[in-house]
Amino acid sequence: MIRLFALLLVSSALSAQGIQFFEGSWDEALAKAEAEDKLIFVDAYAEWCGPCKMMAANVFPNEEVGAFFNANFVNVQYDMEKPESAAFREYHRAPAFPTLLFIGPNNEPVHRVIGARQVPQLLADARTALERVDDLEALRRDFAENQPGSAYKLVRALIRRGEPHLKITNDYLRTPGLDFTAPANLRLILLATTEADSRLFDLLLEHREAILALEGREAVDSKVRAAVRASFDKALEFRSERLMATVVEKAELFDNDEAKRLESEGEFAFALQGQDPEKVYKTAKSYLKRGAEGDEARLRNLFGALENSDFIDRTVIIDLAAEALTGAAELAEEGWRDYYNLGRFLQKRQRYGQALEAAERSLAALGPDGPANYRRAIQDLVDQLREQTK
């Protein structure tokens, strides 16, 4: 059953949406990196480059990649054959495409990779770049000597390496007389908060306004939502309705509407852990209306959870799944993909008339100028279904 929950746990409201690329000039990127004490990640590409397109479509939008790169780098993209990259090309070159560079605020390269990378490789490259600027031994020494800002830098390095950081953070934040107005301490709270059911999360909420002034609303809201989602996941993993109630309570402190969505999502997820089809139907229907409506990712995930559940042979569950994917298709920029998947889903369940309608909507949504290979695949489905409805 745990496999099913993975389909639920990615939502547009609460998860990273891939790498967010900075759109300012190269000088502005350098200034931002210096102000935020970060490296710059540069995707140097060409418009015609196939491997570049692969990374843009499959790697940069990845949730894990986005979370790591958005937290640790100022991210920029340059088409190396267009005027937009002129200032960057004064200092750096790309002998092949894509070239992926990690550059310090001083405009000096730290690490460079040539060629396309898959998700695990790109994350490994990023950690290699960070390890070259994070001298862990020196950071531990500075922390032991109580150097200003050393706790933040040490914890950041530990997080980047995937090493435990919570004990050091919590012990430091319990230091008698600690100045919680100090920017480094406020940034440490934001950096280290990973779950909503924690003292760190409570400190984040307590000092939220001061942290907002330092880091901005987007960074704070993103961290809060990620922490809530992490505790939500944990509640499902341990089947703890008590923890789920705590998660909802914490969510209410920053977004009451999101708290209601989470509550209905959690009820549905817990129902999927059981064997009561009526409860699954009722909680799924409630989640569709109270939690997923208007949220493309949640609607798509609801469809996936139902499709892969043990209850998908039931008529009412099929209807709900179809309604969820139709809702996602109506919201999506490329809704033809969802209509096509809906057609295949309904065809498999011998609902040929409904399946044909979905396939025809997919073809219409793709339009005459859509990629020929996709048009052929959809047309093949339409032709099959027309035969099956005779």
Catalytic residue among 29, 42, 46, 49: 49
Select from 41, 13, 38 the least CA-distant residue to 98.
41
d(CA 231, CA 249) in angstroms, rounded, equals 12
What is the bridge-based pairing of β-strands 39-45 and 73-79? parallel
In sequence order, the 6+-apart residues with CB closer than 8 A to the CB of 379 are 363
Q: Give, for 42, the enclosing helix (H) or strand (E).
A: strand 39-45
d(CA 253, CA 205) in angstroms, rounded, equals 8
Catalytic residue among 52, 101, 226, 359: 52
260 Ramachandran zone, left/alpha/beta (phi>0; psi -120 to 50): alpha
Burial of 212 (0-12, 13-18, 19+ CB in 10 A): middle
Q: Is 84 a residue of the active site?
A: no
Q: Is 55 a residue of the active site?
A: no
Cβ contact 201:227 at 8 Å = yes
What residues act catalytically? Answer: 49, 52
